[in-house]
Structure formats: structure tokens, C-alpha cells
Homo-oligomer: A and B are copies of this chain.
Amino acid sequence: MQEELINKVMQEVMRRVGSAPAENPKESREGGQTLTTSRADLVQVTEYVGVGLGDTQGIVIANLDPAIHKLMGVDDKYRSIGVIGGRVGAGPQIMAADEAVKATNTDILSVQMPRDCKGGAGHGNLIIFGAEDVSDARRAVEVTLEVLPKYFGDVYANDQGHLELQYTARASRCLTHVFNTPEGKAFGLILGALAVIGVLMIDTAVKAADVEVVGYACPAKGTSLTNEVMIWVSGDSGAVRQSVVAGREVGIKLLSAWGQEAKPVTQPYI
């Protein structure tokens, strides 16, 4: 009888509160896996490739219409495009796409960063790969979705904000496209949101190691008006990593100042 009563109450609760459970960004995501295969069956659209963390979706278009080529400013030689887009995060998707261009015969045609983040303080993303062959475009999208969970490993979040740290020993063409960082050299991203947290993170990062600051962005400049402050750095790989780690340490402490721990979305990798 108790069980029955509880069920009855739960139905009423769910009806009043809304049918879906309150969104928890970390738990509602894909648990570090892209569910490419099973979902593709469900979606039944040829162009669909898969979904991943950060409300990210990947598609491929085998023969882009010439009218769309023109609208998007895409060179006609790219008969096929692969597209990645997400609501939450730009850095993880960009890092993953950087691996994908290394691994495939594709080019990065466009990276755009809407002000989105599902109410969070940061960006969403739209990344377009160009290829002469559809199988290359598809492979780039698959690789991006496969490696995406890794790059959410040093994204730390709580109800107040988030931090993002990224590191690679060898930047490829996607990072060069977005950040104008030297190709083939180490790259690090140190980012804090709220912007105030980012300010201390970047000061700490440049003091921690001898790195070259390649770029700087803040709400009024270089972001899509997001509440973020960030730098990206290049140089010796050990120094870049040291700089990123120093920024991370102080950022996590500041972001936890409201009493709620700032947890990584997946497993830290840096």
C-alpha cells in the first residue's frame, strides 16, 4: 500500500513539476560516450552521424547545394561538408576537431561561437569541415565525437560558473584557424567564467612559466559577449602545461568560493 501511495504522489509531483527531471548538465549528458550507432538508427536521416557531450551533434552533407556553398562562403571544391555543433562549450569541440583534421583528409572551413551555453556563462559552437569526398567528411565528424569526452576533462563547473583548461603538445590546423597559434607547437588555453576568476587565472598562468601569450579575450573583446576572461599560450610544451596547471589550480579554488565544489565534467587529462 505504501508503494502504491508513493507512486501516486510521484505521478502528481512529476505532473506539477514538469515531466522532465530538473536538468543537471553533467548527468544529463552522454556519460562520456557518444551513442553514434544506436541513435543513428533512431534518427533515420542519412546525414546524421551522432551526438555527444555538450548537446553536440554531428552531421555530414555529401553534395552541398551550390546555393548553400555561396551563402556560407564555401569553396566549390569542397563537395562534401562535415558539421559539428553544440549548445555547451566551444573549446572541447575545437580541440576535438583539431584532432580530427590531423587524422583525416579534411580542412576547417569555419568555426563560429554563438553566445549560448544553455544559460551558462560561455559559448556554443559550429564547426565546418570541408572535403572532396563524403567519407572523409564523415570520418572527421566521427573522430570529433569520439575524442570529445577527453576535452571536457578539464572543464570544471558548478552553479556559479565554469573553468576551461586545454593543452596539446602539437597544435594543428583547427587551433591555428581559431586562435592563430603556431602550428605544430604546444598550445594551452586558460579560461575562467565568471570573468573575474579568469583575471586571476591568467595572471597566475603567465607568472608560473615562461610562455608566449598568443591571444587574450574578455567580455568586451574577442568573445561573443560571454562572461569569460581567457588567454591562450604557446611555447615549450613543459612550460605551456605548467602554465595551464597553475591557472587551473587557482581557478578551481575561486570557483568553489560559494561553497559548491567545481567538478570536472569527465576525467581531467592535463
Q: Could you list 25 A-B pairs, sorted by A, with CB under 8 Å? A: A10-B13, A10-B16, A13-B16, A16-B21, A17-B17, A18-B24, A19-B24, A22-B22, A43-B253, A43-B256, A47-B250, A57-B194, A57-B197, A59-B196, A59-B199, A67-B206, A68-B203, A71-B202, A71-B216, A83-B196, A83-B199, A85-B197, A112-B219, A124-B195, A124-B227
Select A65's contact among B71, B83, B207, beta carbons within 8 Å: B207
- A126 and B195 in contact, given A116-B121, A200-B47, A257-B43 (Cβ under 8 angstroms): yes
Select A68's contact among B5, B39, B202, B253, beta carbons within 8 Å: B202
B124 with A121: CB separation less than 8 A = yes
**0/1 interface trace, chain A 121-148, chain B, CB 8 Å (1 if under):** 1001010100000000000000000000
Contact-residue bracket for chain A: 35 or more
A65 with B203: CB separation less than 8 A = yes
- A43 and B194 in contact, given A17-B21, A87-B161, A203-B68 (Cβ under 8 angstroms): no
Measured between beta carbons, the chain B residues less than 8 angstroms from A55 are: 160-161, 194, 258
Chain A contacts with B in 66-85, Cβ cutoff 8 A: 67-68, 71-72, 81, 83-85
CA distance A178 to B269 in the complex (A): 41
A266 to B: closest C-beta gap in Å = 18
B24 with A112: CB separation less than 8 A = no
- A85 and B227 in contact, given A10-B16, A12-B10, A55-B194 (Cβ under 8 angstroms): yes
A51 with B87: CB separation less than 8 A = no
